[in-house]
Structure 1
Amino acid sequence: MLERTRSTEATGGAAIVDALLVNGVDTLFGLPGAQMYPLFDALQQRADRIRTYGARHEQACGYMAFGYARSTGRPGVYAVVPGPGVLNTTAALCTAQGCSAPVLCITGQVPASFLGKGRGHLHELPDQLATLRSLTKWAERIERVEDAPAVIDEAFRQMLSGRPGPVAVEMAWDVMASRAPVVPFPPASMAPAPAPAREAVEAAARLLVEARHPMIMVGSGAQHAGEAVRALAEALAAPVAAFRGGRGVVPEDHPLGGSCVAAHRLWPRTDVLLGIGSRLEMPYMRWAGMMTCVERPQAPPHLVRLDIDPAEFGRLMPDVGVLADAQEGTWALVEAIRRLRPQGPADPAGARAAIAAARDEARRAVEVVQPQLSYLDVIRDVLPRDGIFVNELCQVGFAAYFGFPVLGERTYISEGYQGTLGFGFPTALGVKAAHPGRPVVSITGDGGFLFAVQELATAAQEAIGLVTIVFNNGSYGNVLRDQQLGFGNRLIGSVLHNPDFMQLAAAFGVEGHRVDEPAALRAVLGPALASGRPVLIEVAVPRGSEASPWPFLHPKPAA
């Protein structure tokens, strides 16, 4: 531990890197450039303590940091040049904001004397800090070298306190290169989470105990609270469902777990809904209609929300709101329910039977989504329980929302509500960098893959042993289907001319395989995961052959 009282002369870049090290950062994703030379030089000199992964596009740096953060719960850090460099990462920042992922962006600035002058200095933006503040939870400029420890500490406090989210810091070009005595700070201390109010917990517990058919929905905010959520579900004999961010909090093969389609089957009888760390997109957008904003849901069901962000209770108003961290608040609910009903739920066997029936019905119903379900079954069979699946916006990816059972916390990485096409492959590189010893599979369509295809070079150069499956249907599948069905088959921009993906893989020095049926995918996927090397698998899919997954993602109200 560095002593707070001992100063050391350092450049601005070195002061930032040392503050990262104090806060436990051992991995950074970056692309160097003129304004950032002192920072990258400091990274090189500290390579024994912090691993820097280079990328071929700034957007990949941001998404790799996102994947690292999303799969670990720890901060993902990236560094890029200002102006166009940092603008290239804003999709990743928006994705991190949407998924409440702790991502730290470090960037440069024009020389200090040019700030706000509009002289057209290299990479100058009208107000870069204001732009970053509109996309992140918090952003600040490090004005002096000696301020770096305090500002970086505050960045960590903001990023990790309360609802996690992305933050950004910038430093002027000349300041980053200048030297000054720097006094290190200790690691940042987090703001304490609000303690769950006893009255709110008791009110929520009474509603849940009195319910005949409660349901629990979890989001990203519950990813660290799996044990507590499972205990609560057992205390209530309640099904647990998630759409994207909360998947795996309760394994979907647990007797009380299930897919979003199974949850929709159980929704008509639900009399109390408990949302934990979730925006509750399923019931109040996807099941209610995406064009009408529901702000104050009408019972039934009664709505209970447990969230660390008080703003959520104004966005979707509950009957009872419990302001707390998901883990602490859920344990408080468990204790209160056990006090109110020490004998346990009235008919746990009946509840489990209803959940099992809904799961079976849901699986039979979604079997029509072919060939996507058959390919997902193969991936699920081959990937171990602790293997990580990184989704993408493609026909197989949309089917994965309900057709790929998630069996553990942080083993399913999605794009959240931003719906950022092309996020999957670079995000998965960051996931694999964070978990080099665990199998990681990235699925993507041909369209989304080409958003970041250049990062095959990153996978090869950095020896990131990611297995990427490209489902090549020669189109933007959703757009093609919509134009065919809704716009008189007037096609524009939806049919794609693709490269030979096997020649492309070979050009980057990456192992490649082409298959055209689920059995062939099974034959190559296991050895690819075992190889520890980057592997690209192309699945040839006839254009327009995939069944639509959308009836299960925007279903009509259940009967």
Structure 2
Amino acid sequence: MTCAELLIRLLRDTYGVDTVFGIPGVHTVELYRVLEGGEANMRHVTPRHEQGAGFMADGYARTTGKPGVCFIITGPGMTNIATAMGQALADSIPMLVISSVNRRDTLGLGQGRLHELPSQQQMMAGVSRFSHTLLDADRLPEVMARAFAIFDGARPGPVHIEIPIDLFNAPVKAPRSWQRPQLARPAPDSASLNQACQWLNGAERPLVLLGGGCAAAPEAARQLVEALDAPTVVTVNAKGVLGSEHPLDLGPNASFPPVRDMARDADVVLAIGTEIGETDYDVVFDDGFEIGGRLIRVDLDAEQLVRNHCADLAMVADAGLALLALAERLGKQRHARQGAERTRAALDALNLANDPAFATYVPLFATLNKALPDAVLVGDSCATVYAGNHLVTRPEPRRYFNSASGYGTLGYGLPAAMGACLGRPDLPVVALVGDGGVMFTLTELACAVEERLPLVILLWHNQGYEEIRRFMDNAGVTRLGVDIQPPDFQMLAAGFGCAATRVGDPAGLQRALDNRPSDGPMLIEVDAAAWQAAVA
């Protein structure tokens, strides 16, 4: 078989890949020869920009827990997808990017060949767990195994494999086995578990911090926090780990004084699968999140255990396995520490529903929850997302994510929601976008229509870059470049063949949601000024 045929068979038969995102190019036609006529039994989705391909793969991975896979052309295709890979790297999202690169005998020579870069591999190494140039076609199974070892057994993130165009048709040997290598993630060692349990059992005011690494073990997470009777900060990427309205769930509200007071007053803090990073614990950017007592940290990445907050006890382990081990050891003796009362007191002090910064959005999310209670909400960096991070609860993990927690790119929401639609066709999906950020990837509406994705695009139209306007105003900087000219979104949607409507109040939003099509996307444009006047 050829190298291209081997690649497709490894993806399909060994690693169970059923969906690929990519834009064909002259350098990748041999990959598409193998996909021709659906013989590979893999769905190929064609975005309108490689950045969109990366964001779609990201959304697919977040909802399914499986790597999103992209086929990308040499040169500009790779520079286009780099932003999406940066977002996935920041949030530890498994993504496999297979690209072409120029012929082996021309690499690094600077001859001005089509799509040539000085070193494509070096450029992509900065936004990936590793970037590899395949120089021997028979090594492809080994390189693929290395990529999936990252996804299965280490801290995940994007992996880039580039194949010189003269290798696609190179003959290769069949691998010795088509079986997927089985990797067991590391479990916490017994001595560290005993020490952690001793500190936690002796604590009077414990606090738990759960990050996105805990998404695969929600039952163990609930068992653990209930055994400890400990208030729990759940980050944006861990929303739903404790379920909806859990009495110990403080939400991702560590930037606010009532929760920060709990962190300073806690005698033991247990942090599992979380970076304890700025966009989850310090969105007010004042470095005010402090841990007063002993800190126990669990992370799959040893380096992460010494970043941001150095632990008194650090365990290199899979978050899910650590949750299970701790829950089993602590589950037999349940503590009574007034955890629910302390959590309720903090949430009452926050009073988010009546906070002027969030009050506008309370009826919006109430309407969404009433119409689509099981929906996956996928967001850009926009006003509705900033509010939803604090207001929204989800019944399960992997039902709420966005680009505002971490890398913070714009243009993520629409294509990532499309990836979520493809990954979870059994669930409704809503893209939360703004009129500024959606313009980065609005062309992906064409792909959503083509794929007949029943996606709701909730576009908050506030006439420009509202968040940056606010920062400029607070800094005493004259507004420049933020009051941008908006397009006619209704006309644009119609041009793509996408259903669209404009609303200005909760009743209008409810009607629009009730009448959304079942076989294609719908853009619901919310007039922010009219909405704010209606709910004031």
> What code does the residue aligned with 2:311 have?
P
Provide structure 2 residue ranges, at least 5 long, that are not aligned to the other structure: none
In the superposition, the TM-score normalised over structure 1's length comes to 0.89
Report what 2:528 is aligned to. Answer: 541
- Contact kept? 1:23, 1:153, Cα under 8 Å: no
Which range moved further: 165-174 or 238-247? 238-247
Q: Does 1:433 align with 2:427?
A: no
Report what 2:381 is aligned to. Answer: 393
After TM superposition, give the deviation of residue 380 of structure 1 in Å. Answer: 2.2
After TM superposition, give the deviation of residue 160 of structure 1 in Å. Answer: 2.5
What SS does the aligned partner of 1:268 have? Answer: helix
Q: Does 1:17 align with 2:8?
A: yes
- Contact kept? 2:417, 2:429, Cα under 8 Å: yes
Pick from 184, 205, 222: which aligns with 2:197? 205
Pick from 455, 463, 474: which aligns with 1:485? 474
What SS does the aligned partner of 1:261 have? Answer: coil
> What code does the residue aligned with 2:490 have?
M
Task: Check 1:365–1:180 CA distance in 2 against 1; reply closer, same or farther (3 A cut).
Answer: closer
- Contact kept? 2:505, 2:530, Cα under 8 Å: no
Report what 1:467 is aligned to. Answer: 456
What SS does the aligned partner of 1:494 have? Answer: coil
The whole-number CA distance in structure 2 between the counterparts of 1:437 and 1:473 is: 32
Q: Does 1:86 align with 2:82?
A: no
What SS does the aligned partner of 1:89 have? Answer: helix
The whole-number CA distance in structure 1 between the counterparts of 2:347 and 2:286 is: 28
Pick from 307, 319, 324: which aligns with 2:312? 319
After TM superposition, give the deviation of residue 335 of structure 1 in Å. Answer: 2.8
After TM superposition, give the deviation of residue 291 of structure 1 in Å. Answer: 6.1
Task: Check 1:439–1:102 CA distance in 2 against 1; reply closer, same or farther (3 A cut).
Answer: same
Task: Check 1:184–1:81 CA distance in 2 against 1; reply closer, same or farther (3 A cut).
Answer: farther
**Partner deviation per Cα, 1:497-548 (whole Å, 9 max, x = no partner):** 11111111111111101001122112211332x62421111001139979xx
Which range moved further: 456-465 or 309-318? 309-318
**Partner deviation per Cα, 1:350-375 (whole Å, 9 max, x = no partner):** 32122233334434565422422221
Report what 2:273 is aligned to. Answer: 277
Report what 1:141 is aligned to. Answer: 133
The whole-number CA distance in structure 1 between the counterparts of 2:509 and 2:104 is: 55
Task: Check 1:180–1:352 CA distance in 2 against 1; reply closer, same or farther (3 A cut).
Answer: closer
Report what 1:346 is aligned to. Answer: 336
After TM superposition, give the deviation of residue 195 of structure 1 in Å. Answer: 2.6
Report what 2:19 is aligned to. Answer: 27
Which range moved further: 64-73 or 180-189? 180-189
What SS does the aligned partner of 1:212 have? Answer: coil
Which range moved further: 147-156 or 56-65? 147-156
Provide structure 1 residue ranges, at least 5 long, that are not aligned to the other structure: 1-8, 547-559
Pick from 67, 70, 73: which aligns with 1:75? 67
Report what 1:355 is aligned to. Answer: 343
- Contact kept? 2:457, 2:524, Cα under 8 Å: yes
Task: Check 1:544–1:230 CA distance in 2 against 1; reply closer, same or farther (3 A cut).
Answer: closer
- Contact kept? 1:75, 1:104, Cα under 8 Å: yes
- Contact kept? 1:145, 1:182, Cα under 8 Å: no
- Contact kept? 1:239, 1:355, Cα under 8 Å: yes
Q: Does 1:265 align with 2:255?
A: no
The whole-number CA distance in structure 1 between the counterparts of 2:389 and 2:352 is: 16
- Contact kept? 1:138, 1:158, Cα under 8 Å: no
Report what 1:525 is aligned to. Answer: 513
Instruction: Kindly tell me the number of residue pairs found equivalent between the two proteins.
Output: 525
> What code does the residue aligned with 2:510 have?
R
The whole-number CA distance in structure 2 between the counterparts of 1:523 and 1:537 is: 11
The whole-number CA distance in structure 1 between the counterparts of 2:120 and 2:53 is: 18
**Partner deviation per Cα, 1:233-266 (whole Å, 9 max, x = no partner):** 1100112222321111112411222323388524
Pick from 355, 361, 369: which aligns with 1:380? 369
Task: Check 1:112–1:343 CA distance in 2 against 1; reply closer, same or farther (3 A cut).
Answer: closer
* Residue identity (%): 31
Pick from 38, 56, 64: which aligns with 2:56? 64
